[in-house]
Chain A
């Protein structure tokens, strides 16, 4: 089969690889019909995630058709059209039982701090991902969900990560009616977090980024205020002025380790790798939230350390909430929101690229070229 092949920072290609096989009674093999590139993949692509081995296949956002199932699989059958949450979760461990499907303890031998994620380095379990024609899906009784009749597969593929993550970002913000919510990052995740903030009753939603076309997109898609931090002397001072000198009720970091905007953070975090990526957006979130406010982090950082003003977290009495999205927990509610027309996920898709042209797709998404918001890869066997 054809599959993405990581060769080193900023170098990917498509190669022939053996098709995956059933290795566990609860496995399924899925023929991928669509898979996305995510902002999270950029951390791998840029070499920021430890134990990203050359030769592995990325991709944690995919939908497809069940081709084969293991002996204990009862929840899906061959031929089902499924969407597959990006977290690999057993459904049985103490964490899964609490609904923390992003923190399963039976899906990743390599790092206890990290759950199992498709195509996300050995630090997330060493699974090959969905940027391929076929993929092995462990715990098929738990993750894969049959795509409801009539749902567009483009909507379904964004329910594997982007919609739940944006939603959970807002949810963890504990938004109360009338709250001012500031979201850093106008990528798919930040845009979705802005959209979902309204569902929790926000009174004001502000998105900050430095890429003009993305801000424009966010403004139209999420009916929010948008500001370019390149035109600000100091983003935190800007937030203070915008909020009667109080700070925002809730700040959301939807940027993560690739953050721009601060030379010191960029050099130490992204160039020298002295920290686990650049923490500029998180720094701004902590300093821009009001006293007693909430900082919600969905932006992804590496497992070492980051420079953040932790003293201010104490002095201001800030609550920090963060996680990998618990996709399975949120799916029933979010499928309904999509069906009811409250969220229109597929509108985020700007690029459809054949799997074979994956290197170009990564480059375009990474460099934010061609007004790209969200690229989708289509494998040659998608329409079999």
Chain B
């Protein structure tokens, strides 16, 4: 089915009130008609894709350059691969990614422990600064957090064995 009108400039009144000054975007003022036509630009050379890059389904290609930080892995990677099958318009995509991020945090702890260092969560949370600047608030935090973390670590260590 062809929905496109062949020559829209023939529509009665087409463009009579066009006003390039009335363009609220910044600065989008030197746009030509060519640029309405999708990938009209000469693309930069393509960075070699030699790792797993998850790509939005809302584009036909991998961008000419891309970041190479942390390719998807483990359970969180599986979740991310699933999420990227959905468009950016869906909750499924974004909520799955947020869930994957939470899973990834625990994978990180397991990975740390496996490589022989128990993460110093105290230091990672910047509690040294808290101790220096807000000792009374820290005392309350430590009581509650220590209990939760200990319980969690015990479970994780058992699981990873």
Contacts and interface: CB of A to CB of B under 8 A. Distances in A.
Contacts of A109: 53-56, 59, 61-63, 66
A26 B45 contact: yes
B101 A138 contact: no
A111 B88 contact: yes
Measured as residues with beta carbon below 8 angstroms from the partner, the interface class of chain A is 35 or more
Interface stretch (B7-15, B23-31, B153-161): B23-31
Task: Tell me which of B24, B45, B63, B134 has the highest count of chain A C-beta atoms within 10 A of its own C-beta.
Answer: B63
A52 B72 CA distance: 11
Interface string A106-127: 1111111100100000110111
B150 interface: no
Interface in B51-76: 53-56, 58-59, 61-70, 72, 76
A29 B28 CA distance: 32
Interface string A137-168: 01100000000000000000000000000001
B41 A93 contact: yes
B35 interface: yes
Contacts of A125: 63, 66-67
Interface stretch (A79-87, A97-105, A177-185, A242-250): A97-105
Judged by DSSP, the binding face of B is loop
A90 to B, nearest CB: 5
Nearest to A358: B126
A40 interface: no
Given A98-B30, A126-B67, A11 B121 contact: yes
Contacts of A7: 105, 108-109, 112, 119, 124
A171 B26 contact: yes
Nearest to A321: B24
Interface residues of B, number: 66
Given A105-B63, A112-B58, A304 B27 contact: no
A233 B18 CA distance: 46
B33 to A, nearest CB: 12
A175 B81 CA distance: 45
A98 B27 contact: yes
B42 interface: yes
Nearest to A17: B69
Contacts of A359: 123-126, 128-129
A78 interface: no
A97 B67 contact: no
Contact of B94 (A8, A12, A304): A304
B83 to A, nearest CB: 8
A83 B92 CA distance: 38
Contacts of B41: 92-94, 97
B48 interface: yes
B26 A99 contact: yes
A354 interface: no
Interface in B74-107: 76, 80, 83-84, 88, 91, 94-95, 97-98, 100-102, 104-105, 107
Q: Give the top 10 A-B pairs by smallest Cβ distance, nearest first.
A: A363-B126, A8-B105, A126-B67, A127-B67, A50-B97, A360-B129, A54-B108, A11-B124, A53-B70, A138-B65
